[in-house]
Amino acid sequence: MTITVYGIPNCDTVKRARGWLEAHDIPYQFHDFKKAGVPASRLQAWLQAVGWEALVNRKGTTWRKLDDATRAGVADDASAASLMAAQASVIKRPVVEWADGGVTVGFDAAEWARRA
């Protein structure tokens, strides 16, 4: 199994993450949410691995632009999955599936160095 990085190419955190992998000569596949969408089967696996609270980016522009009722309606795996499937930009990035089967969200160079 290879490393798969899920995200949006123009996201600064995704750029840093991909740059880190390339600087350390670590091969990976990139899945662009904007072009390829959010894979439903993977979304369910991420929810099981890290939980919806870690996956929903409540600090991002997309979240802030949602109306109060929509934000209040995100309260569990099912409601979060529905929102993330409809609006991929609300997913905290990058989501990484590691070769060992682990899943992380966001970029932390120290943690990545331990995993790589």
Active centre residues (catalytic)? 11
Rounded Cα gap, residues 112 and 89, in angstroms:
23
Rounded Cα gap, residues 93 and 6, in angstroms:
7
Rounded Cα gap, residues 24 and 85, in angstroms:
32
Count CA atoms within 13 Å of residue 2 on its CB side: 10
Burial class (CB in 10 A: 0-12, 13-18, 19+), 70: middle
Residues in Cβ contact with 43 at an 8 Å cutoff, skipping those fewer than 6 apart: 81, 84, 85
